[in-house]
Amino acid sequence: MWVITPINVSTTFRYNEDPNTLTAIADLPNGYPEGEFVYSRLSHPNSEKVEAVFDKILGGHSVVYSSGLGAFNGLITHFNPNQVAFGQCYHGVHAILDIQTRNRGLKQLSLNEEDLEKLQPGDLIHIETPVNPFGTSYDLKYFAEKAHSKGALLSVDATFAPPPLQDPFKFGADIIMHSATKYFGGHSDLLAGVLAVKSKDVKRRLVDDRIYLGTNIANLESYLLLRSLRSFDLRILKQSSNALKVVTFLNENKHRFKSLVKIHHSSLQTEPYVKEQLSNGYGPVFAINVDSEETAKHLPSKLKYFHHATSLGGVESLIEWRAITDPYVEKTLLRVSIGTEDPQDLIEDLDQAFSSLSRD
């Protein structure tokens, strides 16, 4: 038997050789059972294996997708809310909600008290925490209580702080979503998404939808994701502890760096819920505001250990002038994703970059 799960690229699977075991799909009200493979858009050996691993990591019934946005589409398609309340979150999530508004009149609400009062049974509050691009946290218990008092559901995009950093089910979430492209993938070489729900029946219905949305995880990606999940908790804990060291350094040395205006990160928030939610460490992404758009464009070119690129969660540190991809942010904002490098190298790199900006 193998140690490493083999790459399996078959899109189609031979039926059982024994004619007596064959059943017509019309006679299978719950679809094909797990472990019975027909065509890889439905499921395949490595997609089911990934789901079994995610069940353990996320503590629910997991459904994997071809991307994080594929997962959000699956969520919105299945739960089909008339109204969604959401705040700051990934710009692609805004775009999906805009499509729903365009096509079927979905009502978009903010997270303020007045809007939350308008929620009806079957509606959704969607919270991203820690939030993209700032890495700051929202109070999950508060939003879970608000949602449930109205008969609505709480979905949580927890991409920025996967377990063991944070478990949204503990604070009342009904659905957890992750872009597995980020920390679960961890090597900037695969796209995937995952939803975790509390009921096996809901999982089955999400899988039924996924078949016809055509958004199952691809064969090669699921192999890469299984590889990544083997080292997942080593990476996330190291990235979290590195990020805390880097943020602490910047915060303590802010007075030396003329161009550094503001640092955003959960570790700098003082509300008690932040530490309760992130009891095993803060997320490895933070953001900074600098003194001008010019500085924001130039800072990445002065760093040698940070690639100037979008995305996050990989073992390599990234920095991004966020306005390149996110239409909703200030042009002075940079997002930083901390990797697994020696934190002292990252600190010295940021120190020399900010110091050289002060001299320019």
Ligand X SMILES: Cc1ncc(COP(=O)(O)O)c(C=O)c1O
User: Taking the complex as a whole, how short is the minimal distance between the CB of residue 1 and ligand X, in angstroms?
Assistant: 32
Nearer to ligand X, 294 or 316 (CB): 316
By beta carbon distance, the residue nearest ligand X is 68
* Binding-residue pattern over the window 130 to 149 for ligand X, x denoting contact by CB under 6 A: --x-----------------
Is the Cβ of residue 165 or residue 191 nearer to ligand X in the bound state? 191
Pick 68 or 281: Cβ nearer ligand X: 68
87 makes contact with ligand X (CB under 6 A):
no
- Comparing CB distances to ligand X, the nearer of 5 and 311 is 311
Query: Given the complex with ligand X, which of 131 and 288 has the nearer CB atom?
Result: 131
Q: Which of 59, 92, 122, 164 binds ligand X (CB under 6 A)?
A: 92
The CA angle 355-324-64, to the nearest 5 degrees, is 115
Q: Look at residues 150, 151, 144 and name the one whose alpha carbon lies nearest to residue 171.
A: 144
Burial of 213 (0-12, 13-18, 19+ CB in 10 A): middle
Name which of 119 and 191 has its Cβ closer to ligand X. 191
Query: Smaller CB distance to ligand X: residue 239 or 295?
Result: 239
Q: Using alpha carbons, select from 194, 119, 104, 118 the residue that is nearest to residue 156.
A: 194
**Residues 299-338 vs ligand X: string with x where CB under 6 A?**
----------------------------------------
Taking the C-alpha atoms of residue 294 and residue 279, their distance in angstroms, rounded to an integer, is 37
Q: What is the nearest approach in angstroms of ligand X to the Cβ of residue 24?
A: 36
CB 92 → ligand X: shortest distance, Å?
A: 5
User: Closest approach of Cβ 133 to ligand X, in Å?
Assistant: 8
276 with 250: CB under 8 angstroms?
Answer: no
Is residue 221 close enough to count as binding ligand X by CB under 6 A? Answer: no
Exposure class string for 250-278: b at 16+ Cβ within 10 A, else e:
beeeeeebebbeebbbbbbbeeebbeebb
Determine if 90 is a binding residue for ligand X (CB under 6 A).
yes
Q: CB under 8 Å, gap of 24 or more: what pairs does 110-115 form? A: 110/85, 110/86, 111/85, 111/86, 111/87, 111/143, 115/85
Beta carbon nearer to ligand X, 259 or 284: 284
Q: What are phi and psi of 231, to 5 degrees?
A: -115, 10
What's the closest the beta carbon of residue 285 comes to ligand X, in angstroms?
A: 9
* CB of residue 346 to ligand X, shortest distance in Å: 21
Spell out the long-range contacts of 15-19 with Cβ–Cβ below 8 A and sequence spacing 24 or more.
none
Instruction: Report 23-82 residues binding ligand X (CB under 6 A).
Output: 67-69
Closer residue to ligand X, CB minimum distance, 274 or 285: 285
Question: For residue 24, what are the contacts with CB-CB under 8 A and spacing of at least 6?
Answer: none
DSSP string, 26-71: GG-TT-SPTT--SBTTT--HHHHHHHHHHHHHHTSEEEEESSHHHH
* Total chain residues near ligand X (CB under 6 A): 13
Q: Which tokens sit at 36?
A: 């019975």
* Residues in Cβ contact with 58 at an 8 Å cutoff, skipping those fewer than 6 apart: 163, 169, 176, 178, 194, 196
Contacting residue, 128, 167, 174, 326, with ligand X by CB under 6 A? 128
Distance from C-alpha of 91 to C-alpha of 73, rounded to nearest angstrom? 14
Distance of CA 128 to the CA centre of its chain: 8
Residues numbered 170 to 199 that lie near ligand X (CB under 6 A) are 179, 181, 191, 193
Report CA Rg, the chain: 22
**Which residue shows structure tokens 């995305």?**
311
Interaction with ligand X in 149-168: which residues (CB under 6 A)? 157, 159
Tell me the closest approach of the beta carbon of residue 156 to ligand X, in angstroms.
11
Nearer to ligand X, 194 or 353 (CB): 194
| Residues engaged in binding ligand X (CB under 6 A) | 67-69, 90, 92, 128, 132, 157, 159, 179, 181, 191, 193
